[in-house]
Amino acid sequence: MPQPQPWYSTLAVFDLETTGIDVATSRIVSANVSVIDAGGAVIERQDWLADPGVEIPLQASNVHGITTQRAQSEGMPAAAAVSEIVAAIRSVLARELPLVVFNAPYDITLLRHEAIRHGVEPLVDPSPIVDPLVIDKAMDQYRRGKRTLEAAAVEYGVELSDAHDAGADAIAAGRVAQAIARRNPDRLEVSARELHGLQVEWSAQQSASFADYMRRTHNPNFVETSGWPER
């Protein structure tokens, strides 16, 4: 019988660019849901530009390059964009494709708030999710330096030529996930469902460790933020 393909052979990928960093109040400005093959080539791609219905702060525009004027003139209505993004993710998960989301609790939690805001049925316990940020920290715990997507791309030899573009970031995150898996075959040759469960454990450990560090060095009253892939 043929051997089953590893979880990273075909991956769906997802990323958002938004109006801010607060998942409860920020709005979606652009999004990408794509599918990459075992070599990292894009075989399916969907992009959205949305009019979030609010002003895009200059600080956010400086990051992703999308102004309020452009979003209003070129973007689709926010409710329609959110509905299509949720449907696209639901579709790839229904096909049993793992969904790569770098720092998943941000994008997935923000998308849930947006869905509720616009009367769209939100995703419920989306799975399996692959979060290269969590996996990288678990595989290479003591590596110094930043753990941003840009830093991970450099570490794992993945090209990221247009950082903070939703499509570029989503696709790069998928390729980083594949590179991490190939660097750590002894620890990551598991099923996508098993990997999802491992990331729940790893994320909890990482959150607790960070909270302990913050309480010891900066703020004894620091409150831990936990939950993966949603908060």
The DSSP code for 12 is E
Give the length of the chain.
231
- pLDDT recorded at residue 163: 86
Q: Check pLDDT > 80 for residue 94.
A: yes
Q: Are 192 and 66 in contact (CB under 8 A)?
A: no
Residue corresponding to tokens 């993945």:
158
Q: Delimit the domains of the chain by residue range.
A: 11-191
Per-residue pLDDT tens over the stretch 52-83:
999 999 999 999 999 999 999 999 999 999 99
Structure tokens at 134: 């969590």
- pLDDT recorded at residue 56: 98
User: Is the backbone peptide bond immediately before 229 cis, with ω within 30 degrees of 0?
Assistant: yes
The H or E element that residue 31 is part of is strand 28-36
- pLDDT recorded at residue 225: 85
Per-residue pLDDT tens over the stretch 104-113:
999 999 999 9
Strands 42-51 and 28-36: antiparallel
Query: For residue 202, how many other CB atoms are within 10 A of its CB?
Result: 19
Q: Are 47 and 31 in contact (CB under 8 A)?
A: yes
Average pLDDT over residues 86-107: 98
Task: Supply the CATH classification number for the domain 11-191.
Answer: 3.30.420.10
Per-residue pLDDT tens over the stretch 176-217:
999 999 999 999 999 999 999 999 999 999 999 999 989 999
Average pLDDT over residues 137-161: 96
Judge if pTM exceeds 0.85: yes
